[in-house]
Amino acid sequence: MSKKSNALTKIFKVVGITILTLILLVGGYASYFAISFNRIQDNLPLSPSGGALEKTVDVNKNYSMFGWNIGFGAYSADYSFFMDGGKESRGRSKEAVLQNLEGINQTLKRAEQKLASNTTFDFICFQEVDFDSTRSYKIDQREVLLSSLSGYSNVFAQNYNSPYILYPFNSPHGANKAGLLTISKFDITSSIRKQLPIENSLYKFFDLDRCYSKSRIKVENGRDLVIINFHLSAYTSDGNVATEQLKLLLQDCKAEYELGNYVVCTGDFNKDLFDQTSAQVFGIKNDEFNWAKTIPAEIFEGTHMNKVVPKGEEQHHPVPTCRNANTAYQVGQPVYTVDGFLVSDNVEDIASYALDEQFAFSDHNPITLTFKLMA
């Protein structure tokens, strides 16, 4: 065999070994990812903690709620996220995440100053709260958020338990855990994690393990106030999964109402809450995303539940609750209202607002609700 043939044989051998190694690595990683995928238990009892100062709520009295998808503490206004078409996959640094969390705590305090009698919110519901996560530098965000509050009980429902995501290769998203944090000035007597349906396609590996937490608080008349904190699907093939999730949630709400209980829900619908569409309301052309489609109106029929869409604090100035994070935030980019509330027929919606924070600390703006339980 000639020297030239010898050299070619060696080259082919090296290339073959390299290709085989890559196949084994990719196959091994895919197997690890598939084997690691499992759904968190349905109907999982949750353990409330903390010390609420008050035991029961009253009828015919105003109560306040604050809600916010905090985007795992990564989203400053100039942040873009790779799954939305942007560049970044994790918080820019541990210090940057802590700064955003501090901004979130301070925003909550400023919002409280606008409440009647300079009081504090009765209920606070956060989504996308990380703990032990690569993307947020292992910060337990529950502790940071609760550190500025006293006299509250709280409960946490996990909805994300991702194996290590190697992409983007220059800064992998990593292994992450997150969930829904519900905080109450009143004693939470019991709470449960309820599973929501997810897609069976490959999208399930990139979506959260969707669920909602359902917490009970005693009412003076012997009934329960049921507080539901949820986060519906975004990364799906056609958007129908989030609709099915909402149907299941509404069935549960209807059952509670028919038992005589009061139901107040808040969270990220990942659906356009306006009947007109956000593009028409905000006068900004936006792209058609699966997660931003309008909720079919008939979905609420017969459920005894009513959609509450937050307004701007000034009636003539609508405020969006979410931006598309494919780029840094700038005025004129696509924005939506996908965060809001659901209340049962026996709960009066007095006022609901989206706070115009210009997406300073999250890709969402916070929302508030003032409501009353009717006798």
- Any idea what the Cα angle at residue 74 is, between residues 268 and 228, rounded to 5°? 25
Please report which confidence band the pLDDT of residue 366 belongs to, taking 50, 70 and 90 as the band edges: very high
> What would the mean pLDDT of 304-332 be, rounded to a whole number?
89
Which pLDDT score, from 0 to 100, does residue 209 have? 87
**Tens digit of each residue's pLDDT (9 = 90 or more) over 99-149:** 999 999 999 999 999 887 668 999 999 999 999 999 999 999 999 999 999
Please report which confidence band the pLDDT of residue 12 belongs to, taking 50, 70 and 90 as the band edges: low
Residue 341 has pLDDT above 70, yes or no: yes
More confident residue, 166 or 134: 134
Residue 343 has pLDDT above 70, yes or no: yes
Calculate the average pLDDT of the chain.
89
Can you name the residues that pair with 249 across neighbouring β-strands?
none
Residue 168, CA distances (Å) to 171, 176, 237 in order: 5, 15, 21
**Tens digit of each residue's pLDDT (9 = 90 or more) over 261-286:** 999 999 999 999 998 888 888 887 76
Q: Which CATH architecture has domain 41-373?
A: 4-Layer Sandwich (3.60)
> What would the mean pLDDT of 363-370 be, rounded to a whole number?
97
**Tens digit of each residue's pLDDT (9 = 90 or more) over 228-245:** 999 998 876 666 888 899
Residue 70 has pLDDT above 60, yes or no: yes
Helix, strand, coil percent values for the chain (each to nearest 5): 30, 30, 40
Please report which confidence band the pLDDT of residue 183 belongs to, taking 50, 70 and 90 as the band edges: very high
Which of 227, 268, 326, 207 shows the shortest CA–CA distance to 68?
A: 268
Residue 22 has pLDDT above 80, yes or no: no
> What would the mean pLDDT of 87-97 be, rounded to a whole number?
96
More confident residue, 173 or 220: 220
Cβ-proximal residues to 286 (8 Å cutoff; 6+ apart), any chain: 278, 279, 292, 324, 334, 335, 336
Please report which confidence band the pLDDT of residue 166 belongs to, taking 50, 70 and 90 as the band edges: confident
Q: Where are the domains of the chain?
A: 1-36, 41-373
